[in-house]
Amino acid sequence: MLKLLIVEGNTREARELAVASGNLTQSDLYEKTLLFLRADAECTIAFPADESEVLPTIETLENYDGIIWTGSALNIYKNDLAITRQIDFMKKSFKAKVKIFGSCWGLQVAVVAAGGKVVKNVKGREIGIARHIQTTEQGKIHPLYKGKTGPFDAVAIHLDHVELLPEGAIVLSSNEMSSVQALEIKRGNSVFWGVQYHPEFDLDYIASLMQKYKKMLVEEEICDDEASVDRLSADYRTLEQDHGREDLKNVYQIGVDVLDPCCRLQEIDNWLEYVEQKSE
Q: The domain spanning residue 42 has which CATH number? A: 3.40.50.880
Predicted pLDDT at 198: 98
Please indicate, yes or no, whether residues 137 and 191 belong to a single structural domain of this protein.
Answer: yes
Q: Is the pLDDT of residue 2 over 70?
A: yes
Candidates 33, 85, 90, 49; CA nearest to 67 is 90
Report residue 150's pLDDT band, with 50, 70 and 90 as the boundaries.
confident
Predicted pLDDT at 280: 46
Please indicate, yes or no, whether residues 250 and 130 belong to a single structural domain of this protein.
Answer: no
Predicted pLDDT at 66: 97
Please indicate, yes or no, whether residues 47 and 21 belong to a single structural domain of this protein.
Answer: yes
- The 8-class DSSP code of residue 137 comes to H
Please indicate, yes or no, whether residues 195 and 208 belong to a single structural domain of this protein.
Answer: no
Q: Which is higher by pLDDT, 150 or 186?
A: 186
Per-residue pLDDT of 86-120, as tens digits, reads: 999 999 999 999 999 999 999 999 999 999 999 99
Please indicate, yes or no, whether residues 210 and 191 belong to a single structural domain of this protein.
Answer: no
Please indicate, yes or no, whether residues 162 and 235 belong to a single structural domain of this protein.
Answer: no
Per-residue pLDDT of 227-279, as tens digits, reads: 999 999 999 999 999 999 999 999 999 999 999 999 999 999 999 999 999 74
Please indicate, yes or no, whether residues 174 and 237 belong to a single structural domain of this protein.
Answer: no
Q: Is the pLDDT of residue 211 over 60?
A: yes
Predicted pLDDT at 279: 47
Mean pLDDT, the chain, as a whole number? Answer: 96
Work out the average pLDDT over 72-83. Answer: 95
111 within 8 A of 119, measured Cβ to Cβ: no
- Residue 253 sits at the vertex; the CA angle it makes with 101 and 22, to the nearest 5 degrees, is 55
Q: β-pairing, 99-103 with 66-69?
A: parallel
What would the DSSP string read from start to end of 194-212?
A: EESS-TT--HHHHHHHHHH
Please indicate, yes or no, whether residues 248 and 171 belong to a single structural domain of this protein.
Answer: no
Predicted pLDDT at 79: 85
Q: What is the per-residue burial (b if ≥16 Cβ within 10 Å, else e) of 48-57?
A: bbbeeeebbe
Q: How far apart are the first and last CA of the chain?
A: 17
Please indicate, yes or no, whether residues 16 and 97 belong to a single structural domain of this protein.
Answer: yes
How many structural domains compose the chain?
A: 2
Domain containing residue 230? 203-256
Would you tell me the crossing angle of helices 266-276 and 26-37 to the nearest 10 degrees? 70
pTM equals: 0.96
Please indicate, yes or no, whether residues 212 and 152 belong to a single structural domain of this protein.
Answer: no
Work out the average pLDDT over 23-50. Answer: 97
- Percent of the chain, pLDDT > 90? 97
Please indicate, yes or no, whether residues 244 and 137 belong to a single structural domain of this protein.
Answer: no
Please indicate, yes or no, whether residues 155 and 236 belong to a single structural domain of this protein.
Answer: no
